[in-house]
A and B are shown apart, each in its own frame.
Chain A
Amino acid sequence: MKRGDVLENINQRFKEEIIDVIDKSSTRVYIEIKPCSLVKVAKYVFEELGARFNIASGLDVRSHMEILYHFIFEEINLLISFRVKLDRAKPEIDSLTPIFEAANWIEREIYEMLGVKFKGHPDLRKLFLSDDWPDGVHPLRCDYKEWDRKAIRDRGV
């Protein structure tokens, strides 16, 4: 499969779902899709086209939340990042874990760091933050304030 064919395939199949395509360079393409179609697109790319799931990056850009799902086509050296934009007040998206196990941990990480809910995730626990970390405080959100200076000071840190 060639680079053009892959992009053509995705474009044809998900004409309705694609909002924007940025063809940045020969190896990097960013495609913005509607959040509701993520599972469909990811399933197609992972299972039919045989791409590898690199990772997802979550960001808070003040006006909205963004998650980029990076998939790499190893044979043709093409990295496609599917971008979804979520409502900042109530960020929610379908989980990819039922399709491939590789999404399990990263969804847990984005959940605790940014507070995005993954619907259908089998085991949405905290991954990195400590057990006494308060609920609803998400350190990678841009309005995050150090949640309790006194508690940290009293621990002698």
Chain B
Amino acid sequence: MARTIVPIGPYHPLQEEPEFFTLTVEGETVVAVDVEVGYNHRGIEKLSEMKTFDQSTFVIERICGICSTSHPFAYTRAVEDIISMEVPERAKYIRTVIAEGERIHSHLLWLGLAGHFLGYNTVYMWAWKLREEILDAMEILSGNRNNYAMFKPGGVRRDIKADDIPVVIKKIDSIVPTMIMLKKAVIDDPVLGARTKGVGILSKEDSIRYSALGPTARASGVARDVRKDSSYGAYDKVEWDMIVTSNGDVFDKLVVRVLEIFESIKIMKECLRSLPKGEIDSKIKNIPPGEGIGCVEAPRGECFHYVRSDGTNRPVRHKVRAPTFMNLPTYKATVVGQTISDATIIFAAIDPCYCCTERIAVRNGKGKKLYNGEDLIRLSQEKTEKIRGGLK
């Protein structure tokens, strides 16, 4: 059968990272996939070498708009690892609260987008409406809806006021009933099940071979979570469960994320309730020569930072590894053998800093345009409609 190349990208306006996929398809089936990245390479590692340790925290925060806490969290932990120090208890709790708030809103954002790709715009609207509540709560806690600027090497920059805590807990609680409804609607829906079950399976072996991280790995039955494995912050002081499922398909990734929202709500509330008293900053004077590694569990998986200091006020090397760096190449294992209409949701399933469907263009051999991004979403949504019709 004739092979057609389907280029997707490179600009992805929905989320933040431009990527370029080349899908080779036979009829409707994808037989090979290649991913190109780097359209938006900003040289942050180089930039960080020119900033002082304190300034770097803010540069690093701009790596990602959605998980803007996980990078400074990993970076500050790497710097603290150089000094071999622990931050004050209260700072640990505050850090955990911020990191979990971020996880909730990031997962909700993904859930909404996944719903949209599958033709469930109701899920999209509900999820993003709930996300607003969390962003409001984060604004009360940190002053910002995003890019919270709470972190600094040695502690946190702002304290949480005792008066704010009940307000924030009330806000978080307010999303729980709707969230339970949404969970039922998403997990029990037969059409959604038909669209996502058995689609884009990442096997346990592949997951280990690719070193997949976060929900992508946990959906494939690999119990891997930095919060449990090498606990940091206040995660070892509160009760919570790691969500692991075994099938590795899109549905399981969805289930893991939806259930993790509930765990995050639990952690966040528990931390706010049992916030210990004391200092929030251990006031680091200078950073000795040495090297340090910081890992945290970002919403998408482990975020890894390596920092080397030579005793001056700037890092000589700052290596950043975002979770998507490891998760993206798993496409090679998941997309091949699937249809184009499923490719959209499989790409979205790892929650990459994936972006566009707007710029998708399907061309035939002569370069004539067949589909664009809207068409592909339409294709995906039509398939759902068809299944829905068949079930009635």
Tell whether A57 pairs with B84 under 8 Å between CB atoms, given A27-B230, A79-B293, A126-B38: no
Tell whether A54 pairs with B321 under 8 Å between CB atoms, given A74-B229, A102-B209, A139-B43: yes
The 4 closest A-B pairs by CB, nearest first: A128-B38, A102-B211, A57-B319, A77-B230
Tell whether A127 pairs with B211 under 8 Å between CB atoms, given A54-B321, A57-B317, A59-B308: no
Question: What is the interface size of chain A, counting residues whose CB is below 8 A from a CB of the partner?
Answer: 34
Known: A77-B231, A105-B329, A140-B45. 15 other contacts (CB 8 A): A27-B230, A52-B208, A52-B211, A53-B211, A59-B308, A61-B316, A70-B304, A74-B224, A74-B229, A74-B230, A77-B229, A79-B293, A81-B293, A100-B210, A130-B41
Sample (6) of A-B pairs whose CB atoms are under 8 Å apart: A53-B211, A54-B302, A55-B304, A59-B308, A105-B325, A128-B41
Q: Which of A3-42 contact B (CB under 8 A)?
A: 24-25, 27-28, 30
Task: Mark A residues whose CB is within 8 Å of B.
Answer: 24-25, 27-28, 30, 52-55, 57-59, 61, 68, 70, 72, 74-75, 77, 79, 81, 100-102, 104-106, 126-130, 139-140
Pairwise interchain contact B209-A101, C-beta atoms closer than 8 A: yes
Instruction: Give the bracket for the number of chain B residues in contact with chain A.
Output: 20 to 34
Among B229, B302, B332, max chain A CB count under 10 A is at B229
Interfacial chain A residues near B45, Cβ < 8 Å: 140
Q: Least Cβ distance of A108 to chain B in Å? A: 10
Query: Once bound together, how far apart are the Cα atoms of A47 and B157, in whole Å?
Result: 43
Interfacial chain A residues near B38, Cβ < 8 Å: 126-130
Interfacial chain B residues near A77, Cβ < 8 Å: 229-231
Pairwise interchain contact A101-B329, C-beta atoms closer than 8 A: yes
Pairwise interchain contact A70-B43, C-beta atoms closer than 8 A: no
Tell whether A139 pairs with B319 under 8 Å between CB atoms, given A52-B224, A54-B302, A129-B41: no
Pairwise interchain contact B293-A28, C-beta atoms closer than 8 A: yes
Interfacial chain A residues near B387, Cβ < 8 Å: none
Q: Least Cβ distance of A111 to chain B in Å? A: 13
Pairwise interchain contact A54-B304, C-beta atoms closer than 8 A: yes
Interfacial chain B residues near A52, Cβ < 8 Å: 208, 211, 224
Pairwise interchain contact A100-B230, C-beta atoms closer than 8 A: no
Among B45, B306, B319, B332, max chain A CB count under 10 A is at B319
Q: Closest B-chain residue to A130, C-beta based?
A: B38
- Is B187's CB within 8 Å of the partner chain A? no
Q: Least Cβ distance of B186 to chain A in Å? A: 30
Interfacial chain A residues near B306, Cβ < 8 Å: 55, 57, 68, 70
Query: Once bound together, how far apart are the Cα atoms of A45 and B361, in whole Å?
Result: 43
- Is B291's CB within 8 Å of the partner chain A? yes
- Is B129's CB within 8 Å of the partner chain A? no
